[in-house]
């Protein structure tokens, strides 16, 4: 079975893959930590279920970056 991440804390995860300004607009105490954790999730998961929106497949290009 492919790893699936249920990610309730951030609803625009798929949109920010194509538009990094969305990620930068989200409130965070630490942008560096936010980006580090986001990258960990992208490498771990094959699919992500965001807090709002449909499940989506993580593009392979994020697995090796």
| Statement: residue 63 has pLDDT above 70 | yes
Which burial class, exposed, middle or buried, applies to 52 when counting CB atoms under 10 A from its CB (0-12, 13-18, 19+)? exposed
Q: What is the mean pLDDT of residues 21-43?
A: 80
pTM, rounded to two decimals: 0.72
Domain count, the chain: 1
pLDDT-based confidence at residue 30 (cuts at 50, 70, 90): confident
Q: What is the mean pLDDT of residues 34-43?
A: 86
Three-state DSSP at 62 gives helix
By residue range, what is the domain housing residue 21? 4-62
CA distance 47 to 25: 23
Other Cβ atoms within 10 Å of 10 Cβ, number: 19
């Amino acid at each position: 079975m492919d790893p699936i991440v249920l990610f309730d804390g951030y609803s625009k995860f798929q949109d920010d893959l194509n538009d990094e300004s969305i990620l930068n607009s989200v409130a965070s105490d630490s942008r560096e930590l936010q980006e580090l954790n986001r990258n960990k999730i992208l490498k771990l998961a094959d699919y992500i279920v965001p807090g709002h929106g449909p499940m989506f497949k993580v593009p392979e290009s994020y697995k090796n970056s």
